[in-house]
Amino acid sequence: MSIFRRSRGRSPGRVSVREAAARTGHGNAVEGGGEAVLLDVREPYEWQAGHAPGAVHLPLSALAAGAELPAPARARPLVVICRSGNRSRQAAELLVARGSQAVDVTGGMRDWAGAGLPVVDARGANGTVA
């Protein structure tokens, strides 16, 4: 059974940061086995300031313009994250409409960092949420 429900014509699901961490294999989370990809849809300056280790980056602006998913995110379940949850909701809706399995993270990177989950900058050092 998939950790995602495919929903045609319906909105994608939403998950908490803890469930997102479980699905993507971050932190101490083990539920879900980390089979999903964490897709960060923030702008480049936000990504460079701080993102989850191992996340894949594709700004919502590029996704909305028709950009393809980066190779590591293709044909995999997606957990979509932004700063607060607004852009990730839009991105997840676009992705589901294109046939991907996607959910978005409520609270975004602000809640991710607030939960003590790892955040790194573009050089791999401790990052911040911009």
- Could you list the active site residues? 82
C-alpha separations of 67 from 43, 95, 111 in Å: 14, 11, 27
Closest CA to 40 of 2, 26, 30, 6: 26
Chain center to CA of 92: 9
CA–CA dist 67, 57 (Å, integer): 12
Q: The tokens 């978005």 sit on which residue?
A: 104
Q: At residue 89, what is the residue type?
A: R
Please give the DSSP secondary-structure letter assigned to residue 125: S
Question: Counting every residue, how long is the chain?
Answer: 130
